[in-house]
Chains A and B, each alone.
Chain A
Amino acid sequence: MSTATLFSYASDLGAVLLLALGLKGLSKVRSARSANGLAALAMGLAVVGLLIQQSLSLEAWLWIGVGTAIGGLAGVITAQRVPMTAMPETVALFNGCGGMASLLVAVAVALFQSSGADLVALISIVISVFVGAITFSGSVVAMGKLQGWIATPGWTQSQLRHAVNISLAVACLVAGIGLPSDPAGLPLWILVVASSLLGIGVTLPIGGADMPVVISLLNSYSGVAAAAAGFVVGSQLLIVAGAMVGAAGLILTQVMCTAMNRSLVSVLFGGALGGAAPVGGGGDEAGYTRITSCSPEECAMALETAERVVFVPGYGLAVAQAQHTLRELAKLLEANGAEVSYAIHPVAGRMPGHMNVLLAEADVPYEQLLEMDTINPDFPRTDVVIVLGANDVVNPDAKSDPTSPLFGMPVLEVDQARQVFVVKRSLGAGYAGIKNALFELPQTAMVFGDAKAVLAGLVSELRELGVGKKTPTAV
């Protein structure tokens, strides 16, 4: 056994260990950042180990250099430029590219190196192509939907889509069975095309609200694709890492489904929620009868005297990029002696944990971000709650109305607070397309407008009332 082989064994084992420690560390706030570095180090170690073991020609180094330069540069630029609000799309994009890489490797091996390959290698190629293609096309569709480039076509909400997807799945199966006897021929291309279309066909009908679940699931798939690629090229390290990420992705997907009171099956096969079951008037405003609306001025007056204020930030806040203005308002209220906190629903923002990132970007102290279970008992002693672009996660029907599609979903109990202001652009329904009983409660007032504009209005109103000037020492 040569020194190079020994070294590559050691580096492989080290890489697996560091990857596992990295993944574990990523789940704790204190260690998350160093854990991310650890995982990156593990990746580097694995690559170095592989490069040392393989005796590479000058030509190979050249191609590696070209691929590294292009992929690395694009990665660095994207990671630095992308706004925090676009994080779900970004993860989807990265993820799709990982799937594409597995797909390309499997296709190349099928085309050029499959003569004499055993059945296991051929089956691995089929899985790698199938999962890789679904990951890629599904991620691209998910990104397009989140960016608003792709709408949900009407036909995808009918039963027709099941027929289409089942036909595509059958095509994949037939091509997959046919591939081992003719690895470089027609079955391969049918498999590539049918799997890609299946990825689109499965993702397209899913509504925006469920997109985080889809991205998480696709993330899991890209792990599976990597593991399959590991079987194709015979790399155990790749199999371990891929399997680890695949399993971890499944857990995360499950966590998200629980938080949104959705089952994975209904996300994948149920179509867009609300499109299928509009309740109480769905997306129009006719369903509401007892709405009180008020101006930012009135809202500011309530805030001036409030001792305890809770903000409930949601998707609308992220869209309006209003997190910095919100922080400004919070500082002003703190200077006025109020206790300010933020109620974070597990799925606030556009994916779980997204709101925490956005508020951290705006320098909101970590201790003020309270999770649902922590803050729910505190709502009865809260003077003012301001709901910013959140809707379904504050709907009291989820607790009290067994006929509501939201029934059973854990929600923030803002209806317990003394006064609730809901900042919203219109009375349009939330993602789930369901009427919100909170809006009609006597203690609720609607402040119509863009979240950022309303918050800026509140800041200037409060300044006019003299708030924050008396105690310049605070914050």
Chain B
Amino acid sequence: MSSLSQALWVLLLGSLLGLELIGKVPPTLHTPLMSGANAISGITVLASLTLIAQAHGNPVLLLFGAVSLAFALFNVIGGFLVTDRMLAMFSRKKS
């Protein structure tokens, strides 16, 4: 099945990309980076939305989807905002 091998390639290349992207990070940025990466891991919102989209009117599935969407969005929105709050402090210093 080609879609599986395709997905595995995607997995492999994505992992390698992640390893390369943040090789060197100044210690100043470790906390914001952790928080930012954490916000990105909330991309599981896509899974929640897919679940809702394909629920075909099943109320329990819709409920599961909505609850998981709330959890994931809490992660995403809270994560990006709090990271921005931290980084805003740094950039204020630069100017």
Contacts and interface: CB of A to CB of B under 8 A. Distances in A.
Nearest to A79: B81
Contact of B85 (A79, A229, A232, A243): A79
A36 B36 contact: yes
Contact of A43 (B14, B45, B53, B82): B45
10 contacts: A23-B36, A36-B87, A43-B39, A71-B69, A71-B74, A75-B77, A241-B40, A353-B34, A360-B86, A360-B92
A23 B15 contact: no
Interface string A80-116: 1010100100110011011011111101110111000
B76 A43 contact: yes
Interface in B77-95: 77-94
Contact of B51 (A19, A109, A249): A109
B26 to A, nearest CB: 6
- Interface residues on chain B, size class: 35 or more
Interface in A344-396: 344, 346, 349, 351-354, 356-357, 360-361, 363-366, 369, 371
A50 B49 contact: yes
Nearest to A118: B1
Contacts of A76: 77-78, 81
A344 B27 contact: yes
A74 B75 CA distance: 9
Interface string A226-256: 1101111111111111111111111110011
Interface in B41-59: 41-55, 57-58
Contact of B29 (A26, A40, A240): A26
In the A-B complex, list the 6 residue pairs whose CB atoms are closest, starting with the nearest: A247-B18, A243-B14, A71-B73, A67-B69, A353-B30, A75-B78
A356 B26 CA distance: 11
B52 A26 contact: no
A4 B90 CA distance: 41
State the main secondary structure of chain B at its contact with A: helix
A30 B29 CA distance: 11
Given A68-B70, A94-B79, A103-B68, 9 more contacts: A35-B36, A70-B70, A72-B73, A78-B74, A98-B42, A98-B44, A247-B19, A256-B30, A346-B27
A316 B19 CA distance: 34
B50 A54 contact: yes
Given A67-B70, A102-B44, A356-B27, A40 B80 contact: yes
A105 to B, nearest CB: 4
Contact of A239 (B7, B24, B70): B7
A13 B6 CA distance: 15
A47 B49 contact: yes
